[in-house]
């Protein structure tokens, strides 16, 4: 009986240790953004670590997502008007060809497009809708999260949030 008790204690300790070591899948406001490294559409490596000290806007999107298709031109315009912010649009399609076909049809000349075909990065952020965007402060902390896209409200909200982060002006 004593051996069973010791074995049970040992197994419970292992299980609790494993659960406590697992990363929570959802990234929340105030959290450090999960580190990642991806390639852009031209093959250049990008790392979140390399962007420390900058305000970063990370957007997850897919070619199959209708709101994403509406949002990307707005993000392109936001980047054109805000050069002090790094806007990264991370495509989560399973194949590069899907992204390439879509990108040939639309002018996104201001955005940095990264590829996450294995969806490891989007999973590490815990995005629960498409599109999902995370705005990070200069220390790499998540300050704002946007799920979905409202073409009337979101661009104005992004501008206000970026103004707050860049200039310290509250919304």
Q: What is the CA radius of gyration of the chain?
A: 19
Kindly tell me if the per-residue pLDDT of 74 is higher than 70: yes
Instruction: Give me the mean pLDDT over the 78-87 stretch.
Output: 96
Flag whether the pTM goes above 0.85. Answer: no
pLDDT of residue 127: 92
Indicate the fold that domain 26-167 takes in CATH: Glutaredoxin (3.40.30)
Kindly tell me if the per-residue pLDDT of 165 is higher than 70: yes
Q: Which residue has the higher pLDDT, 153 or 19?
A: 153
Distance CA 47, CA 51 (A): 7
* Percentage, residues of the chain above pLDDT 70: 84
CA 133 to chain centroid: 6
Residue closest to 127 by CA, chosen among 110, 112, 149: 149
**Domain spans of the chain?**
26-167
């Amino acid at each position: 009986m004593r051996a069973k008790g010791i074995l049970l204690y040992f197994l419970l300790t292992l299980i609790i240790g494993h659960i406590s070591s697992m990363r929570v899948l959802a990234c929340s406001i105030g959290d450090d953004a999960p580190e990642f490294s991806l390639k852009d559409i031209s093959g250049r490596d990008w790392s979140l670590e390399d962007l420390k000290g900058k305000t970063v806007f990370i957007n997850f999107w897919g070619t199959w997502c209708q709101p994403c298709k509406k949002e990307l031109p707005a993000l392109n315009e936001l980047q054109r008007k805000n050069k002090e912010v790094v806007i990264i649009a991370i495509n989560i399609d399973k194949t590069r060809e899907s992204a390439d076909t879509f990108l040939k049809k639309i002018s996104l000349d201001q955005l940095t497009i990264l590829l996450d075909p294995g969806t490891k990065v989007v999973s590490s952020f815990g995005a629960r809708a498409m599109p999902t965007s995370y705005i990070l402060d200069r220390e790499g902390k998540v300050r704002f999260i946007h799920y979905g896209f409202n073409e009337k409200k979101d661009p104005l909200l992004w501008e206000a949030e970026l103004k707050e982060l860049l200039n310290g002006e509250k919304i």
